[in-house]
A and B are shown apart, each in its own frame.
Chain A
Amino acid sequence: KNQVEQSPQSLIILEGKNCTLQCNYTVSPFSNLRWYKQDTGRGPVSLTIMTFSENTKSNGRYTATLDADTKQSSLHITASQLSDSASYICVVSATSGGGADGLTFGKGTHLIIQP
């Protein structure tokens, strides 16, 4: 069964500090991996989408890494800001050209940035 596990479930850090969120998956065959940011009560917003051949991808202060061999991804946030407080969701796509039923969602990491 395809699964996506995210850790930690929740995290509290001080403003200005860096943090790293983890995503481990057992999805096969692998097509791509996505990170989303979801503010409370809002829809998820895409941060990055990475294919098998991409090891690192950045979007401003967000940097995602992918190790397809170990089936792990991480999302690193640099110099955190209060606006980074949100849930971060990892999503893995099982097949290229497939539909939404091939997407496996993690339950997210709830990040709180304290001033």
Chain B
Amino acid sequence: KAGVTQTPRYLIKTRGQQVTLSCSPISGHRSVSWYQQTPGQGLQFLFEYFSETQRNKGNFPGRFSGRQFSNSRSEMNVSTLELGDSALYLCASSLAASGSYEQFFGPGTRLTVL
């Protein structure tokens, strides 16, 4: 089975721009979660989608949004980029509820905001 894929792998943007990141989960997995990882903070939960519905959301501003399509692929969008948004963005997929089922992470998208 193919693993979780994320595109693009690297991205450089300037302040004020917006960005869209994509995640394709493992075939058959219905839950997709997004995380932001920075050196000082570790992994911070952004949001989780299950069957095209946002199941829960972390403590991030409204500039961070996402969606999930009928094939379980997910996208996250960050508008009005700030320097502090520079991070590794990871998505993870699981069969169902992430609390009970093992999560499989993608390679991440490295976003740099200049």
Q: Which residues of A contact B106 (CB under 8 A)?
A: 43
Q: From A49, which residue of chain B is reached at the shortest CB distance?
A: B102
Evaluate contact between B99 and A31: CB separation under 8 angstroms.
yes
Evaluate contact between A93 and B42: CB separation under 8 angstroms.
no
Q: In the complex, what distance in Å separates the CA atom of A46 from the CA atom of B91?
A: 14
Evaluate contact between B104 and A99: CB separation under 8 angstroms.
no
Evaluate contact between A41 and B108: CB separation under 8 angstroms.
yes
Q: Which residues of B contact A45 (CB under 8 A)?
A: 105
Q: From B57, which residue of chain A is reached at the shortest CB distance?
A: A101
Evaluate contact between A98 and B43: CB separation under 8 angstroms.
no
Interface code A16-60, partner B: CB below 8 Å = 1, 0 otherwise? 000000000000000110101000011111100100000000000
Nearest CB in chain B: distance from A79 CB, A: 26
Evaluate contact between A99 and B107: CB separation under 8 angstroms.
no
Evaluate contact between A99 and B55: CB separation under 8 angstroms.
yes
Evaluate contact between B108 and A96: CB separation under 8 angstroms.
no
Q: In the complex, what distance in Å separates the CA atom of A32 from the CA atom of B58?
A: 20
Evaluate contact between A32 and B100: CB separation under 8 angstroms.
yes
Evaluate contact between B88 and A41: CB separation under 8 angstroms.
yes
20 pairs, CB–CB < 8 Å, chain A vs chain B: A31-B99, A31-B100, A32-B100, A43-B92, A43-B105, A43-B106, A44-B43, A44-B90, A93-B100, A96-B99, A97-B97, A98-B99, A99-B99, A100-B31, A100-B55, A101-B57, A103-B45, A105-B43, A107-B42, A108-B42
> Which residues of A are interface residues toward B (Cβ below 8 A)?
31-32, 34, 36, 41-46, 49, 89, 93-103, 105-108
